[in-house]
Structures are given as structure tokens and as C-alpha cells.
């Protein structure tokens, strides 16, 4: 397996974080294809999970809402980081996803209402 230099990984993480902050302030959601195009990565980039987990952890540690909730799956219309159970979301998972998105919009773009999930492309 190819090991990515730490400097390159951090630069990628910073680009993704900056784009998610831009989207949060604009009150917009995104999908992997659009996010990837904005930061120069493919929609199926193998490091999405790791990058988004690190951004999520950093934001939550600062007491901020999880801006990775803005990244939706084009297939399901739900935030991609939700763990599906047998291919379906429980009512609690759906509520948690909507609350997370509401929190991002309420914090960064309070004049806009968060879209109701799911939002399929």
C-alpha cells in the first residue's frame, strides 16, 4: 500500500475543511462528487473516511457542530458517515442525522433552514 506523506495528507485535510466551512457559512449541503471537484479529489477517494473523521473529531473537540454532516450520499440522501443497520436507518439514526444538520445550519448560517433529510441527488 502507498503511504501518503503527512504534509500532503494535512494539505488535503485542510482543503476539505476549508470547503466544508465555506459550505456551512453559505448554508449548503454537498455530495462527494461536488466536494471532490471543489478540492481536487475523486468522488470515490479512498481517504474520505479518514479525512472526514479527523475533521469531525476536531470540530467536536472545539465545541462546534460536526460540519461533515453536510456531506450527503447521493444514493441515500443521508449524511454518509451514518452507520446503516441492515441497509436501513433506525428512527434514532434519522433523528440524529437531522439534528446534526440542523446544528450546522443553526451555528453557521442561522438565516437559512436546514433541508429535510433525505436529500437525494
- What digits encode the pLDDT tens for the residues 67-111? 999 999 999 999 988 877 777 899 999 999 999 999 999 999 999
What is the rounded CA–CA span in Å between residue 85 and residue 106?
28
Q: Is residue 120 part of a domain?
A: no
DSSP tag of 79: B
* pTM to 2 decimal places: 0.91
Q: Is residue 78 part of a domain?
A: yes
C-alpha cell at position 44: 470515490
Number of domains in the chain: 1
Q: Is residue 119 part of a domain?
A: no
Q: Is residue 65 part of a domain?
A: yes
Amino acid at each position: 500500500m502507498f503511504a501518503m506523506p503527512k504534509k500532503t495528507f494535512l494539505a488535503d485535510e485542510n482543503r476539505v475543511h476549508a470547503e466544508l466551512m465555506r459550505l456551512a457559512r453559505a448554508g449548503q449541503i454537498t455530495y462527494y462528487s461536488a466536494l471532490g471537484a471543489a478540492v481536487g479529489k475523486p468522488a470515490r477517494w479512498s481517504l474520505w473516511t479518514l479525512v472526514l473523521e479527523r475533521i469531525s473529531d476536531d470540530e467536536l473537540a472545539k465545541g462546534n457542530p460536526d460540519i461533515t454532516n453536510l456531506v450527503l450520499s447521493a444514493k441515500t440522501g443521508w449524511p454518509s458517515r451514518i452507520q446503516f443497520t441492515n441497509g436501513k436507518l433506525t428512527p434514532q439514526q434519522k433523528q440524529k442525522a437531522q439534528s446534526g444538520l440542523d446544528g450546522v445550519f443553526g451555528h453557521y448560517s442561522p438565516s437559512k433552514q436546514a433541508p429535510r433529510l433525505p436529500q437525494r441527488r
